[in-house]
Structure 1
Amino acid sequence: MIRLNRRAILGGAATLVAAPLAQPALAQPGLPDRPIRIIVPYNAGGITDVISRGVAVGLQATLGQPVVVENRPGANGTVGTLAAARSTPDGTTITMGITDTFAINRSTFPNLPYSDETDFAPISMVTRVPFALMIGAHRREITDYASFVREARREAGRLSHASWGVGSSSHLAFEFVARAQGFEKLHVPFAAQAPGMQAVAAGQVDSMMLPVGGAESLARDNRARIIALAHPNRIDLTPGVPTLGELGVPLSTGLWLALYAPARTPPAIIARLNEALRTGMRHETTQAVFRQQAGVAEPSTPEELATFVRAERAQWAQLVREKNIRVEA
């Protein structure tokens, strides 16, 4: 399980909900005077949930009205994302979109029940978190990236890796490394990030590509080792871990998170939510969550987010086609 002070985050949110809201920090023309709901299409306790709760604290402090997180997991995020798409476009329901739900699922699901372009209006990027390549402590012979590649090639399809689902960003990032190094492997998909981490820690699965904060929590307890980082540069959380670029693999990726509203949400409301997010991400609790996950606040305009995601879709679609990855609904 990712070690985050989630109780403190939730407690902070509860305190804000209970506080008097008579003097909102920003005037809110156009936003209905009722709680704002952030739909998180993944389980409670995972990175998307934890970051969303940190963001909710900052948004609530800025907007002066309750902001709650609602978890709607299922089918690699499609259940909750579809629920958000069908919500009333008045600014009171938004969703935390991630790499999987807004850039990958369109390529892996033959009949995706929502359109990540026409069913949503972008609000802003929130943060990007680098992926780490993690090896279970039971694989004592794998001490670094070179020995990982050597063993993967020697085992010829027996080295196993966990992910949070077929066609997930965790799955595809590992596929990229395997393709670059020319080895086969055994994919073991789980329904969420935490069970995959637990399987690696227990010695049931050999490896996993996942957000660095989760990997670091296991490495800190000597239940796993981080052997590479899919990031342009080394980071403070894991200063001794080389990047894949240093090791000759041109992969810089991770999990990005961004806020979206249902399509047809009025532009004035999108602008207000964007403004509130920019202010709210400076909140102490929100900043603490970003630091714990090796992320930084990356607010954007809606147009900048849309441009970024279009490039992401093209990148992942190419890998999905090459590996012929499909999710059976």
Structure 2
Amino acid sequence: MPIITRRSLLGAAATLPLAGPALAAFPEQPVRVIVPWNPGGLADILMRALAPAMAQSLGQPVVIENRAGANGAVGTQLVARAPADGHTLILGNAETHAINPLIYPKLAYNPVTEFTPVTTFASGPFVLITRPGLGAETMEAFLALARRQPGRITFASWGIGSTSHLAMEGLAKQAKLELLHVPFTGAAPAATALIGGQVDCMFLNAGPAEAAARDGRPKILGVGAAERIPQLPETPTMKELGLPVEAANWFGLLGPAGLPAPVAARIAATVAEGLKTAQVQEIFRAQVALPVTQTPAEMGQFLATDRDRWGSVLRDLAIRLE
């Protein structure tokens, strides 16, 4: 996962033209944020944490609408066709704006030409977690178990081509494992299946994984971040374990192509202010999500880098979907 520069957005946004008809008329109605995954996943939790603070600043309700399907493509396509006035936004991540174009030849939207970057607001590491009773308390034991049973150890993800899927494929390639993929329609059902013992392991967002592992039954074996995380100080990183798998995701807001720059800047500044509130910070800490602030221009540069990175990953894995 590329490192996202954490700069103060307000100073940068203040240099943009924040006056004029576009900004004066925004927002005229509730702002709708499409979350293109099921409720209960990390993206949904973080966006719902931010929404009240954004609403207070904007003077209009911020309404969250879940439109799941096709690794986030269903909801993302909807926003690409929406009016470019700031009242409809997409919560995007690596899947919607970097991975999907590389694995869906017939994708119904263009992530570069049909969207306006607004801001990235969070980055979250994944951890490798195993089901209760698997009998692998360490990474070494897990690798040995998987090698003894090629093709029989199952791993969950929140969709084919999702970051959770690709992270595990990367681990399997590095460790020379043969694992069986079981995709779900979202992070929440995938995590529920793992905790219930229906699948053996997965790369899961660190917050939900840490909460699930508190009773000691599911086991967290490694962290996909570059450094250990405060909530799991005794858990080594994948790199420390000799498997340098980067497993994380980012979350941000984009509007349709043609979104006026003053509107994008105001939304970005509103998000940055929301990230400062105590309630939002508490929820982010609980979910092991790192707050991030970016200008629209910075997000655009980051998206280009992220697309290049995932392009190199997917060339090795050769995943293509209809």
Q: Secondary structure at the match of 1:260?
A: strand
Q: Give the equivalent residue in structure 2 for 1:15.
A: none
Determine the C-alpha separation between the residues in 2 that align with 1:204 and 1:273: 41
Q: Give the equivalent residue in structure 2 for 1:206.
A: 200
2:263 to 262, 269, 276: 269
Matched, 1:290 2:276: no
Determine the C-alpha separation between the residues in 2 that align with 1:32 and 1:52: 18
1:29 to 24, 28, 35: 24
Shift of 1:199: 1.6
Determine the C-alpha separation between the residues in 2 that align with 1:182 and 1:312: 26
Determine the C-alpha separation between the residues in 2 that align with 1:97 and 1:286: 19
TM score, norm. by length of structure 1: 0.88
Shift of 1:144: 0.8
Amino acid at match of 1:157: G
Q: Give the equivalent residue in structure 1 for 2:239.
A: 245
CA contact (8 A) 1:157 1:184 kept: yes
2:295 to 298, 301, 314: 301
Shift of 1:263: 0.6
Matched, 1:179 2:207: no
Deviates more, 1:160-169 or 1:145-154: 145-154
- Structure 2 regions of 5+ residues with no counterpart? 1-22
Where do 1:65-76 residues align within 5 Å?
65-76=60-71
- Structure 1 regions of 5+ residues with no counterpart? 1-27
1:101 to 75, 96, 116: 96
Q: Between the two structures, name the one with larger relative contact order (CA 8 Å, sep ≥ 6).
A: 2
Determine the C-alpha separation between the residues in 1 that align with 2:301 and 2:247: 17
Where do 1:1-40 residues align within 5 Å?
29-40=24-35
Amino acid at match of 1:211: N
Q: Secondary structure at the match of 1:76?
A: helix
Matched, 1:110 2:98: no
Determine the C-alpha separation between the residues in 1 that align with 2:104 and 2:66: 21
Determine the C-alpha separation between the residues in 2 that align with 1:66 and 1:204: 39
Q: Secondary structure at the match of 2:268?
A: helix
Determine the C-alpha separation between the residues in 2 that align with 1:285 and 1:93: 25
Shift of 1:100: 0.8
Determine the C-alpha separation between the residues in 2 that align with 1:283 and 1:94: 22
Shift of 1:253: 2.9
Determine the C-alpha separation between the residues in 2 that align with 1:69 and 1:204: 30
CA RMSD of aligned residues (A): 1.3
Runs (4 or more) in structure 1 with deviation over 6 Å come to: none
Q: Give the equivalent residue in structure 1 for 2:54.
A: 59
Determine the C-alpha separation between the residues in 1 that align with 2:142 and 2:216: 18
Q: Give the equivalent residue in structure 2 for 1:326.
A: 320
TM score, norm. by length of structure 2: 0.90
Deviates more, 1:127-136 or 1:45-54: 45-54
Q: Give the equivalent residue in structure 1 for 2:147.
A: 153
1:236 to 230, 248, 258: 230
Q: Deviations over 1:16-49 (max 9, x none)?
A: xxxxxxxxxxxx6241321111111011111111
